[in-house]
């Protein structure tokens, strides 16, 4: 059904890389959510009041808040689609992340409110009226919410949206909470055991726990989380696939919202090659990233001496030797400046963010390793921090 809806209501639905199409997906998902949640709220609110069930009324309020979350998502996609301006040259894509954070906060608030009202019902229990209409409404709600969870998850993954992924989790929580409400009503009717308040509290605690996780997931991109190992490896492998590229390092990826990522990296190429040809190749790599991946990449050219076997052997040996400290450590930009009494060996060393050694301690360790093997050298080491996943 999701595919049928997308085909009929999202124009150019196959071009998910287009920001305009991506916005259409988000807005369509928001409208579907608003309609479904408002109808469920009205139906469950009415049956909850008539049955005297705090858990059903709370479930109806939950649907109303879900509709508010859908409105927030709709607004987030609309604001995120605004073009760049002089004050925001990278666009407004992070509005979508903010919308996801608001949705997560609403989920958390709903859980806290449900726990409070359920505790009141535990302290002052009242019987819940049971009838076929109640069972039908709650069962219908479970079916609709199952479909909404699958619908939002499918579209969220299709366009890479944290906001819709959060909405899908919220719908899944609704399935669990409504199922628990229905179960407590059946138990109360069959065994005359009043579980309404207890079930409501348990569901509320689960929603609080889920809300905390959603807040964490939506805050991470706003704080500047490391790019995924898959993206890091894709960028590295693509750069290395071009003839003449010897290595790449100092990769940085900046996320200004879904579909608005910028990256920079250094590319090592033979110093003996024609610099105009090397520059032309770098331009082609940057353009290919933009055309193929929608990723704006800026590359810096690092010339590497390849016709001196002594320097090449030293670079390879040091690069392997430093891995005794930590397998993730790498070196780059090595060059030698020989003198009458010693040779300055100048290079950069990439320090993983979570390495226990400080910059100075790492510099001393690496320097000792180099001088033990090459006693007539003086290492001049610059410590670089890694700004990408340690899985690189």
The 10s digit of each residue's pLDDT in 116-136 is 877 877 887 766 667 787 788
Tell me what pLDDT residue 392 has: 42
User: Do 70 and 22 share a structural domain?
Assistant: yes
68 vs 349, more confident: 349
For the chain, give the mean pLDDT: 85
Under the banding of pLDDT at 50, 70 and 90, the label for residue 54 is: low
Q: How far apart are CA 332 and CA 266, in angstroms?
A: 10
Extended strands (E) in 167-313: 245-255, 261-270, 296-304
82 pLDDT higher than 70:
yes
Model pLDDT, residue 258: 73
Asked whether residue 386 carries a pLDDT value surpassing 90, the answer given is no
Q: Please compute, for residue 354, the number of CA atoms within 13 A of its CA located in the half-sphere on the CB side.
A: 7
- Tokens for 18? 């287009």
Comparing 366 with 98, the larger pLDDT belongs to 366
Number of domains into which the chain is organized: 3
Mean pLDDT across 297-324: 91
pLDDT score of 9 more than 90: no
The CA distance from 300 to 386, in Å, is 17
Are residues 200 and 320 both part of a single domain? Answer: no
Domain of 11, CATH number, reads: 1.20.1510.10
Given this model, what pLDDT does residue 383 score? 93
Strand order in the sheet with 296-304: 245-255, 261-270, 296-304
Highest mean pLDDT pick, 5-14, 66-75, 337-346 = 337-346
> Averaged over 167-184, what is the pLDDT?
82
Region 211-235 average pLDDT:
84
Residues 216 and 230 in one domain: no
Q: Is the pLDDT of residue 215 over 50?
A: yes
Note the pLDDT tens digit of each residue in 19-50.
Answer: 788 888 888 898 998 999 899 888 888 887 87
Indicate if 385 and 244 belong to the same structural domain. Answer: no
**389: pLDDT strictly greater than 60:** no
Q: What integer is the mean pLDDT of 196-202?
A: 78
Asked which of 223, 244, 264 is the last residue of a domain, the reply is 223
225-262 pLDDT tens trace: 888 888 899 999 999 999 999 989 889 998 888 778 89
pLDDT value of position 126: 67
Q: What pLDDT, on a 0 to 100 scale, did the predictor assign at position 243?
A: 93
pLDDT value, residue 55: 64
DSSP 85: B
N-to-C CA span, the chain:
39
Q: How confident is the model at residue 391 (pLDDT cuts 50, 70, 90)?
A: very low
CA–CA distance, 283 with 23 (Å, rounded to integer) = 31
Which CATH number does the domain housing residue 389 bear? 3.30.70.1350
Better pLDDT: 178 or 149: 149
Which of the listed residues 304, 333, 363 is the one where a domain comes to its end? Answer: 304
Looking at the fold, whether 85 and 122 belong to one and the same domain comes out as yes
116 lies in the same domain as 241: no
CA distance 353 to 91: 29
Give CA–CA dist 26/110, Å, rounded: 23
27-36, 159-168, 301-310, 334-343: least confident range: 159-168
Q: Could you tell me if 8 and 97 lie in one domain?
A: yes
Q: Report which of 68, 91, 71 is spatially closest to residue 20, judged by C-alpha positions.
A: 91
Helix (H) or strand (E) holding 333, with range, is strand 330-338
Whole-prediction pTM value? 0.65
Average pLDDT over residues 72-76: 79
Write out the residue range of the structural domain in which residue 238 sits: 226-304
Tell me, yes or no, whether 118 and 81 share the same domain: yes
Examine the domain organization and report whether 387 and 252 are in the same domain: no
Residues 120 and 209 in one domain: yes
Contact of 196 with 125, CB cutoff 8 Å = yes
Does 170 share its domain with 48? yes
Residues 164, 156: contact at Cβ < 8 Å? yes
Q: Which of 266, 286, 304 is the last residue of a domain?
A: 304
By the 8 A CB rule, do 329 and 349 touch?
yes
Which residues are 266's β-sheet partners?
249, 300
Q: What is the pLDDT of residue 106?
A: 79
* Lowest mean pLDDT across 1-15, 51-65, 195-209, 253-267: 51-65
Instruction: Kindly state whether residues 218 and 79 are assigned to the same domain.
Output: yes
């Amino acid at each position: 059904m999701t595919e049928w809806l997308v085909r009929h209501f999202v124009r150019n639905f196959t071009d998910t890389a287009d920001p305009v199409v991506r916005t259409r997906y988000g807005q369509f998902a928001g409208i579907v959510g608003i309609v479904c949640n408002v109808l469920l709220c009205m139906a469950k609110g009415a049956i909850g009041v008539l049955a005297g069930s705090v858990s059903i009324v709370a479930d109806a309020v939950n649907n109303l808040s879900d509709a508010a979350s859908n409105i927030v998502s709709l607004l987030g996609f609309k604001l995120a689609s605004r073009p760049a301006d002089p004050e925001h040259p990278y666009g407004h894509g992070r509005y979508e992340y903010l919308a996801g954070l608001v949705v997560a906060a609403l989920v958390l608030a709903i859980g806290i409110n449900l726990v409070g009202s359920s505790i009141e019902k535990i302290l002052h229990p009242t019987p819940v009226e049971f009838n076929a209409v109640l069972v039908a409404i709650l069962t219908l709600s479970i079916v609709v919410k199952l479909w909404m969870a699958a619908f939002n998850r499918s579209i969220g993954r299709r366009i890479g949206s944290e906001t819709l992924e959060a909405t899908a989790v919220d719908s899944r929580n609704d399935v669990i909470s409504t199922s628990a409400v229905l179960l407590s009503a059946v138990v109360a009717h069959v065994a005359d055991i009043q579980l309404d308040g207890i079930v409501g509290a348990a569901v509320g605690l689960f929603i609080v726990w889920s809300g905390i996780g959603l807040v964490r997931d939506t805050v991470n991109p706003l704080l500047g989380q490391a790019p995924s190992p898959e993206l890091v490896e894709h960028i590295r492998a693509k750069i290395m696939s071009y003839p003449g590229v010897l290595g790449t390092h100092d990769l940085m990826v900046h996320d200004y919202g879904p579909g608005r990522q910028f990256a920079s990296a250094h590319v090592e190429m033979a110093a003996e090659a024609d610099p105009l040809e090397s520059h032309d190749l770098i331009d082609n790599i940057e353009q290919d990233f933009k055309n193929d991946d929608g990723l704006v990449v800026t590359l810096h050219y690092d010339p590497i001496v390849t016709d001196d076997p002594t320097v090449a052997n030293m670079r390879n040996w040091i690069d392997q030797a430093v891995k005794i400290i930590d397998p993730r450590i790498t070196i780059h930009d090595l060059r030698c400046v020989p003198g009458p009494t010693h040779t300055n060996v100048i290079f950069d060393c990439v320090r993983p963010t979570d390495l226990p050694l400080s910059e100075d301690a790492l510099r001393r360790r690496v320097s000792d390793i180099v001088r033990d093997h090459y006693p007539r050298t003086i290492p001049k080491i610059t410590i670089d921090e890694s700004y990408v996943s340690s899985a690189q």
